[in-house]
Structure 1
Amino acid sequence: MRLIARLLILSLPLFSLSSEAETVSDLYQVREPVASQQPEERDAALGRALQTLVLRLTGDREAVKSPALAELRQDPQQIISRYGYEEDRLLVDFDPVSTDRSLRQAGLSLWGANRPAILAWWLNDASDGSSLVGDGQSSATLLRQAAQHRGLPLWLPIADLNEQLLATAENLGATEPEALRDASERYAADALLAVRAREDNGQWQAQWRLWVDDTREQGKVKGADQA
């Protein structure tokens, strides 16, 4: 999931709220994978949960490293209301009031729960062919998990035949998303994300382009596998 999560979080600082913003729930609940229920593993997972939460609330990768948060990094349980195990994950509930107070006292600006919705045109190119990830498909699970982990509202197209034909490498890689923009109007999202993920010699790499109003960004990410 790192490839997807890294890609999605790159878009965080670009957004400005609009009338179409969507309210994100469970912002203060974080799930972190654990290898065991040993105290050392639990403490490491609590530390990662704090990092995830600060990134969700600030949109800044470096915010958690602030010297003003040193004590909180040492003992995240100061702002945790409860935690427990859910299969192979540690489920951590942070207290919203004490969390916000601690981060503001550290001089950090916080992003509220109303966040612009991202419509993702995600094309997977694998050895067995290409396919557009659509809403309701099993291939959408990793995308939704990554978006939830980063606190981002993610929408996916229905990926019907017309949209499958539209989602070509040429259209997703275009400098301007004219071909995608017309087809995206039906979803009324705030941001448009076009991704082409390709399998190459057992590795995965993705090229992405993001449009938010008049702002454009692009980049590349790599992953050891599709997850």
Structure 2
Amino acid sequence: MRLPTQCFSKLLFASCLSLVSLPGFAETVSNLYQVREPVTGQSPEERTQATQRALETLVLRLTGDPKAAQSAGLSEVRKDPQQIISKYGYEAGPPESLLVDFDPVSADNSLRKAGLPLWGTNRPTILGWWLNDASDGSNLVGDGQALAEPLRRAAQHRGLPLRLPLADLSEQIVATAKNLEGTDSAPLKSASDRYGADALLAVHAREDNGKWQGVWRLWLGSQREQGTATGVD
């Protein structure tokens, strides 16, 4: 599901703005140094490309900076990621993935030598309000729904602790397209109090001519970010 992954990529960058004062509901994120990247085969060329993507994902997780992986200080690591990898293997799909385990000490040392700041394992918890508008109707993604899994995978891929609402009737009344796309976060914040999250992510995704378009807003303390994303499903 590409739309959530693109959205959370931008979300991660926005979340980093508040690292100076960590919010009160922070959670410890595990497995930051283990990265899964989809592959279409197990050829050496495919493995090399997936390993490079895994390195970029790791650096993004550890720094919160989408540009950090291209830092001049990481040029040698980009040429030979194996120097900070402890092991790798393949996982059956769908989709089939290359599972890369990076060595935490080596990875951290490489980033420090490159002059890049490290983001700790305690990270802001995010409550995601995600509304899908498709040809067959609207659906607010709730914690126990099958549609929650792609969102959880996307959050884990970006190293973010995600919570989802129950999506009961009272929350469906609040999580309308108007409130999700609006600049006033008061209605959502009121409905979010019981979940104890640091940040609110509101996404309204619409299906149009076989493609998906999403508008998202993020509230993290006094900071706000917004953007759009597109996807094939």
Same fold (TM over 0.5): yes
Q: Alignment partner for residue 160 of structure 2, among 152, 156, 167?
A: 152
Task: State yes or no: 1:57 paired with 2:62.
Answer: yes
Aligned match of 1:114: 122
Whether 1:29 and 2:6 are equivalent positions in the alignment is no
Match of 2:136 among 121, 128, 132: 128
In structure 2, what is the Cα distance between the partners aligned to 1:14 and 1:210? 12
Q: Which residue pairs with 1:101 in the alignment?
A: 109
Q: Pick from 183, 191, 208 the counterpart of residue 216 of structure 2.
A: 208
Partner of 2:101, secondary structure, is strand
Shift of 1:7: 1.2
Residue 2 of structure 1 and its aligned partner are, at CA, apart by 3.1
The yes-or-no answer on 1:8 pairing with 2:8 is yes
Q: Which string of whole-angstrom CA distances, capped at 9 and with x for unpartnered residues, describes residues 71-108 of structure 1?
A: 11111010000100111111110000010000100000
The Cα of 1:188 is off from its aligned counterpart by: 0.7
Q: Which runs of 5+ in 1 are unaligned?
A: none
- Does residue 219 of structure 1 match 2:207? no
Shift of 1:14: 2.7
Moved more, 113-122 or 160-169: 160-169
Counterpart secondary structure, 1:220: strand
Structure 1 residue corresponding to 2:80, chosen from 75, 80, 83:
75
SS of 1:81 mapped into structure 2: strand
Q: State which drifts further: 153-162 or 5-14.
A: 5-14
The TM-score normalised by the length of structure 1 is: 0.96
Q: Does 1:84 align with 2:92?
A: no
Do 1:20 and 1:190's aligned partners in 2 also have CA atoms closer than 8 Å? Answer: yes
CA RMSD of aligned residues (A): 1.0
Match of 2:171 in 1: 163
Cα separation, 1, equivalents of 2:62 and 2:140: 30
- Shift, 1:210, TM fit: 0.7
The equivalent of 2:206 in structure 1 is: 198
Q: Structure 1 residue 3: deviation in Å?
A: 2.2
2:150 matched residue in structure 1: 142
Which one-letter code corresponds to 1:113 in the other structure? Answer: T
Q: Provide the aligned length of Structure 1 versus Structure 2.
A: 225
* SS at structure 2 position matched to 1:10: helix
Q: CA shift at 1:205, angstroms?
A: 0.4
Q: Which runs of no fewer than 5 residues in structure 2 stay unpaired?
A: none
**Equivalent AA in structure 1 for residue 188 of structure 2:** L
TM-score by length of 2: 0.94
In 1, Cα distance between the equivalents of 2:141 and 2:226? 20
8 Å Cα contact 2:5/2:155 also seen in 1:
yes
Asked if 2 retains the 8 angstrom alpha-carbon contact of 1:84 and 1:91, the reply is yes
**1:114 and 1:11 mapped to 2: Cα distance?**
16
Q: List structure 1 runs of 4+ shifted beyond 3 angstroms.
A: none
Are the aligned partners of 1:9 and 1:59 in contact in 2 as well (CA < 8 Å)? no
Q: In structure 1, what residue type is equivalent to 2:87? A: R
CA shift digits 1:87-136 (9 cap, x unpaired): 11111100000100001000000101100000010000000000100001
Conserved in 1, the CA contact under 8 Å of 2:24 and 2:198?
Answer: no
